[in-house]
Structure 1
Amino acid sequence: MSTPINLNKIRKERGRAASRARADENAAKFGQTKAQKDAQKARLDKMDRHLDGHKKET
């Protein structure tokens, strides 16, 4: 006789695997490369410096 299996456990594992696969696909499809992230951070830093330079000192 084989050991009994918990069908709920199997169902949940399949669901997690499907979610992980979908997440990996979306990361590849919509994710940003390191270079893109660095460029965006540099743009934001430049905008912050530009705004700080135009603030009035009181």
Structure 2
Amino acid sequence: MGEIVNLNRVRKDRAKAEARATATANRAAHGRSKAERTKAEAERERAARLLDGSKLED
């Protein structure tokens, strides 16, 4: 016979895990200094220019 599971507890645990994952993502996105954000944006723009410059014309 299987183990008895409280479905309300499982639902709450799942919601807490999702909230922790969201909080982690928000800390990564918003918990950076302005210098770090500027540097990351410049790196993304550089990569985009490099990719666009590497495309072959038909």
Quickly name the TM-score band, shorter chain normalised: 0.5 to 0.7
For normalisation by structure 2, the TM-score amounts to 0.53
1:8 is matched with 8
Give the superposition deviation at 1:8: 0.5
| Two-structure CA RMSD over aligned residues (Å) | 1.9
1:42-57 to 2 correspondences below 5 Å: none
For normalisation by structure 1, the TM-score amounts to 0.53
Gaps of 5+ in 2: 37-58
Moved over 2 A (4+): none
2:53 is matched with none
| Local SS of the residue matching 2:13 | helix
Gaps of 5+ in 1: 37-58
| Local SS of the residue matching 1:15 | helix
| Local SS of the residue matching 2:16 | helix
Q: Does 1:26 align with 2:22?
A: no
| Local SS of the residue matching 1:5 | coil
Give percent identity, aligned residues only: 41
Number of equivalences: 35
